[in-house]
A and B are shown apart, each in its own frame.
Chain A
Amino acid sequence: MSGSLGARIGQIIPTLLLVSVLVFGLQQLMPGDPALIMAGEERGDPQVLAQIRAELWLDRSLPEQYVHWMDGVLHGNLGYSWRIRQPVSQLIAQKLPVTLQLAVMAFAIAVLIGVPAGIVAAVYRNRFWDYLANAIGLAGLSTPTFWLGIMLILLVSVQLQWLPPSGYVPLFEDWRQSLATTIMPAFVLGNAIAAILMRHTRSAMLTALDQDYVRTARAKGLREWTVVLRHALRNALIPVVTLGALELGTLLSGAVLTEQVFSIPGFGKMIVDAVFNRDYPVVQGVVLVTAFLYVLLNLIADVLYVVINPRLRGA
């Protein structure tokens, strides 16, 4: 997988360049004239339209537009929101911490559920606990995020009235309230990843438990759970860590729906609002930034993989 990290780093630049072309190209799919949308009520005035076109370089050729746009992107300028006339980068910077809090909590929940479940499933392979873990995992994978959220609100907020059904309080304002508003969405968001982590952990543990060094540990007379936790788990966690990092995309996709269900003003809600406001620069900015985050995290995962796995260090 990370046989050559150098080559991996080399791959990232063309990948990011292609992402930028893709994101830029999205604009071309759009029906209608962007200038008309931007002009709003002044759309009847040809002078205003011409001015907007000149400002946005819409009167230039596509390659010129791309280079202009890319030049901005490289200088941290993702364009301006058509709706609120604010820099897109500023909007993203405001919303990103909210989603990050949600994502980190979700990932922690997923690890806390998925990894132990995977260990238990592997140890009790083809017995009751394995089947149960697999059944719950499959159910988790088959439940739409937003429906799980709605059902939880129905149960926890409407019926039991334990937690608020929606809203968000920033972490540094009131951390108790913040946790109260985010624990449910984080659980919903972590659910799908927990199922995936469970499957990965199970199969990695099965492989590890089959190795000679584990047999040796058993033959030495160590207790079974010592063997499982000290010897097998350490090696099984290596692939789990990297595969977990790959689920960032799932996390961000899920965040869009979770934030919508729980009315959390994060990154995901921003893209949905932008879509309905036809605020295309924001949509483009969000796609670009998520792709960049994804690529970056994958690189970190690859480096981690080499760091954790001594066998690959010399490669």
Chain B
Amino acid sequence: MTAATLPSTSTPGAPAASVAPRTRSPRQLAVRRFLGRPVAVAGLVVILAFIVIAVAAPLLAPYDPIATSWSAIRKAPSAAHWMGTDENGRDVLSRVIFGARASMLAGVVSVLIAAGIGVPAGLIAGFAGGWTDTILSRIVDAMLACPFLILAIALAAFLGPDLTNAMIAIGVSTAPRFMRVARAATLDAASNEYVEAARALGNPPWRVALRHVLPNIVPPVLVQGTLAIAAAIIAEASLSFLGLGQQPPAPSWGSMLNAAQRFLSQAPWLAIFPGLAIFLVVLSFNLVGDGLRDALDPRRR
């Protein structure tokens, strides 16, 4: 365009074109998009149900999950024991209900540990750049070079087998993924001109990082977090299955499957129900994670 084509009649205070009647924040829009996905909402409902089961386990379980009974060993599912009984005569349903505690706790706590380490590291690496970034990224490369479960097994082995150590091991092994996601999101957010504008306005660097960059890395971290809970629940079940997580007689889905393997031909129900529980919870977290990703980033296919 050139000077001569400028319409001399237009005024600088040109009218603001039509503006939407009701305002919605990006967050409200994302919530609406999420609620528009029945599959994701179903996943959320299942997760909430399992949280209720885990919290209210003592009220819901029909029997004591660790009380053995020599008169009810390996009984098939019946009216008295909906999911049957195990090799020590314990009620499988009650153990599955109490097992939700270990799984949900491990899923959430280990992801909190992972995010607690990974997100600040990623934010610092992405924001500071230079040597800080190089060193942090190399450490992450090194940790990612060790296969996830093998690293978790090694950590759990050296720390000693129990649920707390399993959560620490899973959390530490998951942290590099969070660091990668947070770093990439930080670089992405920091390349926006509004971050430059924030600096130009005189904000000190820490304020730019916390007030302008951090809020914009929340969506990808949230998605990663949800999917990571799914992975962490599988990892806890795996470690418990190997005997490196929750220790008997305390119930956990993974260790129940370990015991079930010995009685596969005589008592298959022992193997079916805890596995179904893991599958259902993990599937739900995956569904919610996928739904969140689509809701938070509408440009994605």
Contact = CB atoms under 8 A, between A and B. Distances in A.
A37 interface: no
A5 interface: no
A236 to B, nearest CB: 15
A151 interface: yes
A286 interface: yes
Given A142-B283, A142-B286, A287 B275 contact: no
A249 B283 contact: no
Interface in B194-235: 230, 234
A303 B264 CA distance: 46
B295 to A, nearest CB: 17
B275 A290 contact: no
Interface stretch (A42-50, A53-61, A215-223, A272-280): A272-280
Contacts of A23: 146, 154
Nearest to B157: A275
Nearest to A248: B147
The interface size bin for chain B is: 35 or more
B154 A150 contact: no
Interface in A163-193: 165
Interface in B256-301: 257, 260-261, 264-265, 268, 271-272, 275, 278-279, 282-283, 286-287, 290, 301
Contacts of A22: 142-143, 146
Interface string B141-167: 111111111110111111110000000
Contacts of B279: 139, 142-144, 147
Given A11-B141, A19-B145, A257-B238, A158 B283 contact: no
A127 to B, nearest CB: 15
A282 B247 CA distance: 24
Contact of B138 (A15, A31, A144, A165): A15
A154 B283 contact: no
A242 to B, nearest CB: 15
Contacts of B257: 146-147, 150
Interface string A234-262: 00000000000000111011101100110
Contacts of A274: 157
A291 B146 contact: yes
B241 interface: yes
A257 B242 contact: yes
A153 interface: yes
Contact of A150 (B155, B157, B264): B264
B244 A275 contact: yes
Given A142-B230, A206-B301, A18 B139 contact: yes
B246 to A, nearest CB: 15
A18 B141 contact: yes
Contacts of B286: 138, 141-142
Contact of A256 (B138, B150, B243, B282): B150
Contacts of B272: 151
B146 A31 contact: no
B145 A271 contact: no
Interface string B29-45: 00000000000000000
B154 A144 contact: no
B160 A158 contact: no
A276 B243 contact: yes
Given A29-B155, A260-B241, A292-B145, 15 more contacts: A18-B139, A26-B155, A30-B158, A144-B278, A154-B268, A158-B268, A248-B147, A257-B149, A275-B154, A275-B157, A275-B244, A283-B154, A291-B145, A291-B146, A295-B145
11 contacts: A16-B142, A21-B142, A22-B142, A139-B283, A144-B279, A151-B275, A203-B301, A249-B148, A275-B157, A275-B244, A291-B146
